[in-house]
Chain A
């Protein structure tokens, strides 16, 4: 390239950049349509894509179903848009900023499906007045709605999960007291997500007298030989797996290779989906995981999705993947957001609602067994009742087991021990409030 060409090229590229920046700057003005906008932070690429894709498909398909079958939410059309985060916190924040003002009333709710992004958005949500639903993940202390006004860890937190896993292995041993002197290893993703259960497990280990072995695995988790060498040396009685994406399948394959008995290995509910066990296939038999809600399978709502979405050629994924664990979880997450909107519509009217109004709806969510049946989610979830003091709404879970081909629920319903969890929630939330200069709301005055 000679000098003249270079200059021309430079001028052209500067022009392009300028044009692009001016496009970015102009936020398109939306007409006041009767629409409710749902942003979707997804990850369909990167090391977490095997788990991100089915979740995103379930989420989108449920919203598509409501538009196709019911014409939206009580006549308010649902619009949504996906934004790729790649599970990266910085890109997740960018996606959030990009979409928070879209639609006639702005983003309805944000569901980041990443504990890291949840932490980053937690201080932003109150300023932008957008509720943050983290169904079964996120900050465990955000159950306390008096401090975390805008966070909703609906249906379960990591502290519930850890507590229920302890209860389950305790039951297996013949009572919690029998755990004394046992050794439990936590193999965790070395990120806020994986570290979240540690305070509860430490407390439980002090209470019950078992040894807790903490084994962090560096992102993305494909290198775990050192971790499993330690497990071979230390021979823990149980292994809890707190992984995500490719880390799960690697851990299970390593466990098989190490010869660790899989019936003594328990995953959190993000470590219990088809992409995690399929690579090990038959060998992964007897591996267990926790489920808050939505195990695998198809119910009435799936029939509708196949009929109204897939038969019309609008499905987000493959037809045979409908009903997988993570697909169902995405669907339930979308459903809870929509139920929040419905609840808020009862108070504010059938029109596009703002984040503030939807937040009220989510705080007064009441989904009982009859509602679950009506929605077509029978057997997929427990009733949820939220309040200002309890943004979680349900504290129960079951255990599922992989039989080599499918996941099956193999336990009854456990309820987490709130007398253990509540004090840690209170302490952690109070610390957050103090550090971030938040004055907690008085829940007795909320209606």
Chain B
């Protein structure tokens, strides 16, 4: 009744090519953004920012990055946590070694360095596909883990191999409170989401999707696989590199190579599988699912006052979490984003479904 595009005529190409062609979508999205930027800072507690919202935003960015590669270009990677760590350590070293460098510049440079490394490890994708490529990217994960644990230059010769970062300063604005961190992350993630949305609509994104759907056919219609695959690796690694730098500097503040281990790569992969492959929105759903749900499940016994021991509560939480993943994959193999799309379709017909 309310959600329907009747009467919304597109009179120009510009209107036809808009990011959100339906007026209701634009209103909802605008309201959501206003709420996220203005409403949430007043409503949420510090705990919510530090433990759920901030990691959620960073992970959503990383999931978008991985989704560009896996969901849009069809190249599987289980080494993306390693590219995150490249971003994090690149930013750390830039901030440590280059005097008076702004964090924003360091962030972009860290992304670029991660993109280079990602392209390097993406080269095997030109010859191998599917599971074999997954194994090749796994090598990236182990190699980079090993490198940061062993080569002391990267960790500033810290005896423990753990690095810590000072409070960030953005043009005189101290990034010291949870709300400020949240706003900064939100701004970065919004910009990058917008970029990603446009990228996948443009010729690069179309080339990626053509490669994903059938690489031989894509080659026949004039798409160069080398170019498409390597750009996908570069852009994807750039995104996760930025996310890694944010994870280290804004969320953790102090980290060790173990912070970006294989489990994180798998978490990222789960995020896009549960959220929806080839969907920017799905990356957000997936990140929320993986970041927030375990914490929420862990706290449920305390809220309802169930007298469970700490160990029991923790075991139960992981069991329920695992069951939910299986459940969602059975109910909707295309992820939460597909559920959302179905919901929207239903809403267009409501209340008169045929």
Q: Which A residues have a C-beta under 8 Å from some C-beta of B?
A: 1, 3-4, 6-7, 9-11, 17, 20-21, 23-27, 42, 44-45, 49, 53, 56, 82-84, 86, 89-90, 93-94, 97-98, 101, 115-116, 119-120, 122-124, 127, 139, 190-192, 195-196, 198-199, 216, 219, 428, 432, 435-437
Contacts and interface: CB of A to CB of B under 8 A. Distances in A.
B48 A123 contact: no
B4 to A, nearest CB: 16
Contacts of A90: 55, 252, 259
6 contacts: A24-B52, A45-B315, A82-B310, A122-B254, A123-B164, A432-B164
Nearest to B328: A13
Nearest to B167: A437
Nearest to A40: B310
Closest 6 A/B residue pairs (Cβ): A44-B311, A192-B160, A84-B314, A192-B162, A82-B310, A199-B159
Given A10-B339, A436-B164, A219 B159 contact: no
Interface string B239-280: 000000000000011111011010000000000000000000
B331 A1 contact: yes
A97 B50 contact: yes
A146 B340 CA distance: 55
Contacts of A435: 96, 156, 164, 166
A224 to B, nearest CB: 17
A45 B298 CA distance: 13
Contacts of B44: 25
Nearest to A23: B303
Nearest to B142: A218
Given A45-B311, A86-B314, A93-B252, A192 B161 contact: yes
Nearest to B289: A17
A127 B299 contact: no
Contact of A94 (B161, B295, B346): B295
A89 B258 contact: yes
B42 to A, nearest CB: 11
A4 B149 CA distance: 52
Given A10-B339, A25-B45, A116 B314 contact: no
A128 to B, nearest CB: 10
B255 A120 contact: yes
A207 to B, nearest CB: 17
Given A44-B310, A84-B310, A84-B311, A428 B159 contact: yes
B252 A196 contact: no
Given A10-B340, A25-B44, A119-B254, A83 B159 contact: no
Contacts of A56: 310
Interface string B134-154: 000000000000000100000
Interface in B37-58: 43-48, 50-52, 55
Contacts of A27: 45, 47
A123 B254 CA distance: 8
B262 to A, nearest CB: 11
B176 interface: yes
B339 A196 contact: no
B40 to A, nearest CB: 10
B18 interface: no
Interface in B285-342: 288, 292, 295-296, 298-299, 303, 309-311, 313-315, 331-332, 339-340, 342
A372 to B, nearest CB: 30
A147 B159 CA distance: 17
Contact of B256 (A20, A24, A191): A191
B7 interface: no
A26 B48 CA distance: 9
Contacts of A115: 160
A3 B338 CA distance: 12
Contact of A42 (B46, B161, B310, B340): B310
B202 interface: no
A119 B160 contact: yes
A1 B333 CA distance: 13
Contacts of B164: 119, 122-123, 432, 435-436
A219 B258 contact: yes
B76 to A, nearest CB: 24
B172 interface: no
A127 B253 CA distance: 12
A3 B346 contact: yes
Contacts of B258: 89, 116, 191, 219
Nearest to B315: A45
Nearest to B313: A84
A11 B346 CA distance: 12
Given A93-B252, A196-B159, A10 B310 contact: no
B343 interface: yes
A49 B45 CA distance: 32
A325 to B, nearest CB: 20
B256 A127 contact: no
A3 B349 CA distance: 12
Given A6-B342, A97-B47, A219-B258, 16 more contacts: A3-B346, A6-B332, A24-B47, A44-B310, A45-B311, A53-B311, A83-B310, A84-B311, A94-B295, A98-B47, A119-B162, A119-B256, A120-B253, A122-B254, A123-B253, A191-B258
